[in-house]
């Protein structure tokens, strides 16, 4: 079943992203939030696959009391999160973009605790860390579980920046900051083109992994969560085998069929 229309496919190709409003309904958003509510209090500082608010160790809110800001390999924490990664509609979008055979690249979450300054996260292109790949059929699908605007944890983008090449990232010390700030060398040229959409719970942002983007600060008193699922075409090969995420190269769809966890594991064991 085709999920993206001609205009959406064209927008992804030319602009490097598409926004799918209310892609997941309120019931699904609430289910995912409840899973995160169970997980977040268990992610202590020092967890290897997680980050926390670097500005303070004061408690957060009820949803995120330890002020977690990032978790990788998220699909392993709960079957519901594995199910979300395998959503037939979400994977269907990727098949519309990249064809009938899809593998996973990353499963994570970016979290903005209350009142966090996220400027250190900075502008970046995911593809810098992913390359070299055999092609660019690799994209991030971000599912928003809260209301997020420019100052409340939204994502900023530079349309069409997936077509300009990969800029060199730079990490700089900022006086009084607990972490270096990341930026892109020469980004000033593209700054006038920045957009910051307002996302509602259940919205999905799909963007090319070459696109310049950044996660914004959260001046709200409530934690904001975005679920990250990065997918690629099965013929998009990690040439140097750099991807050590646990979900790397896991078959998600084969010949147009979205796979169950058991079917994925069987394909891996058989070398498919």
Beta strand pairing status for 251-254 and 213-215?
Answer: unpaired
Residue 155 has a pLDDT of 98
Residue 270 has a pLDDT of 83
Residue 272 has a pLDDT of 57
Band (6; pLDDT cuts 50, 70, 90) = very high
pLDDT tens, 24-52? Answer: 999 999 999 999 999 999 999 999 999 99
Distance CA 105, CA 112 (A): 23
Residue 102 has a pLDDT of 98
What is the average per-residue pLDDT within 54-65?
Answer: 97
Residue 139 has a pLDDT of 98
Residue 1 has a pLDDT of 67
pLDDT tens, 176-198? Answer: 999 999 999 999 999 999 999 99
CA 197 to chain centre: 16
> Which pTM was predicted?
0.96
Domain over 6-269 is classified CATH 2.60.120.620: yes
pLDDT tens, 114-149? Answer: 999 999 999 999 999 999 999 999 999 999 999 999
CA 247 to chain centre: 14
Band (70; pLDDT cuts 50, 70, 90) = very high
Residue 271 has a pLDDT of 73
Distance CA 114, CA 136 (A): 35
What does the mean pLDDT of the chain come to?
A: 96
């Amino acid at each position: 079943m085709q999920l993206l229309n001609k205009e959406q496919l064209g927008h992804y190709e030319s602009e490097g992203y598409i926004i799918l409003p209310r892609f997941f309904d309120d019931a699904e958003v609430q289910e995912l939030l409840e899973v995160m509510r169970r997980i977040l209090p268990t992610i202590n500082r020092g967890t290897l696959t997680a980050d926390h608010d670097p500005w303070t160790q004061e408690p957060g809110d009820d949803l995120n009391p330890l002020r977690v800001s990032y978790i990788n390999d998220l699909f392993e924490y709960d079957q519901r999160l594995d199910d979300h990664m395998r959503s037939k509609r979400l994977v269907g979008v990727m098949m519309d973009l990249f064809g009938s055979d899809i593998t996973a690249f990353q499963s994570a979450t970016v979290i903005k605790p209350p009142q966090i300054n996220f400027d250190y996260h900075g502008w970046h292109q995911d593809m810098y860390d992913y390359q070299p790949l055999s092609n660019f059929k690799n994209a991030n699908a971000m599912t928003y579980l809260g209301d997020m605007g420019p100052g409340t944890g939204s994502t900023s983008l530079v349309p069409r920046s997936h077509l300009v090449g990969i800029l060199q990232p730079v990490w700089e010390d900022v006086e009084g900051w607990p972490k270096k700030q990341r930026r892109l060398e020469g980004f000033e040229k593209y700054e006038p083109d920045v957009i910051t959409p307002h996302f509602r719970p259940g919205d999905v942002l799909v963007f090319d992994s070459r696109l310049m983007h950044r996660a914004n600060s959260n001046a709200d008193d409530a934690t904001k969560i975005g679920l990250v699922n990065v997918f690629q075409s099965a013929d998009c090969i990690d040439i140097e085998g750099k991807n050590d995420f646990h979900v790397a190269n896991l078959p998600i769809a084969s010949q147009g069929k979205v796979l169950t966890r058991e079917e994925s594991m069987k394909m891996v064991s058989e070398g498919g």
